[in-house]
Amino acid sequence: QQPVQSPQAVILREGEDAVINCSSSKALYSVHWYRQKHGEAPVFLMILLKGGEQMRHEKISASFNEKKQQSSLYLTASQLSYSGTYFCGTGAYSGAGSYQLTFGKGTKLSVIP
Amino acid sequence: DSGVTQTPKHLITATGQRVTLRCSPRSGDLSVYWYQQSLDQGLQFLIQYYNGEERAKGNILERFSAQQFPDLHSELNLSSLELGDSALYFCASSPSPDREMAQYFGPGTRLTVT
């Protein structure tokens, strides 16, 4: 089941903050966050595990609420380099015991001067 | 640079044809994943291999197949191509297929079917 991301798109001025949400209708074992710039490959940001701590990557942090089955990505004091599409991925174990990610449709973040 | 390599970078072919996309995972990674990304679409999981064995299948068409070789590189074969198969195809790798493992993506192969 594909996680739902919100908002679909957001425009920020440099220095502003933003929150991107990722919700699932199923219980979550982990949430993966990736950023993809136009024409490039997705780049890993961080993983949040069930029962784990809040994670941080530079000025980007994320939380994982197991009860609500959702994760939020917090971008603080945004920089131009934060522009891109952010994807969350939630997973399930296959019959063979492998963890398979399903990605949301993405949130397009544009940071302007 | 993630350490994952994919060839070719671009591929233009006609409907009905067959193509092979190749992926070499990061050194030490045993798990390989294939994703399809259409224009302005998210990443659709196709198939996953771990140490040569198929471990999970996603929305992969019957016209598509893949395999992982003993040297751990993987190939995705797309046959009887249709216009709708035009997309970016990404390969990703991780040390193992566990929930705490980050996936590292290659630069992708852009397939255009005319």
| Segment 49-68 of chain B within 8 Å of chain A by CB | 50, 53-58
pLDDT digits (tens, 9 = 90+) for A20-68: 999 998 888 889 999 999 989 999 999 998 776 667 777 889 988 888 8
CA distance B14 to B25: 28
3-state secondary structure of B86: coil
pLDDT digits (tens, 9 = 90+) for B14-23: 999 999 999 9
CA distance B60 to A80: 36
Minimal Cβ distance to A44: which of B48, B90, B102: B102
When pLDDT is cut at 50, 70 and 90, the band that residue B13 belongs to is very high
Query: Quick one: which of A28, A39, A41, A34 has its CA closest to A90?
Result: A28
Query: Quick one: which of A87, A92, A91 has its CA closest to A73?
Result: A87
A77 is written with which tokens? 């004091």
Do B48 and A94 lie within an 8 Å CB cutoff?
A: yes
CA distance A22 to B86: 28
Residue of A nearest to B56 (CA): A94
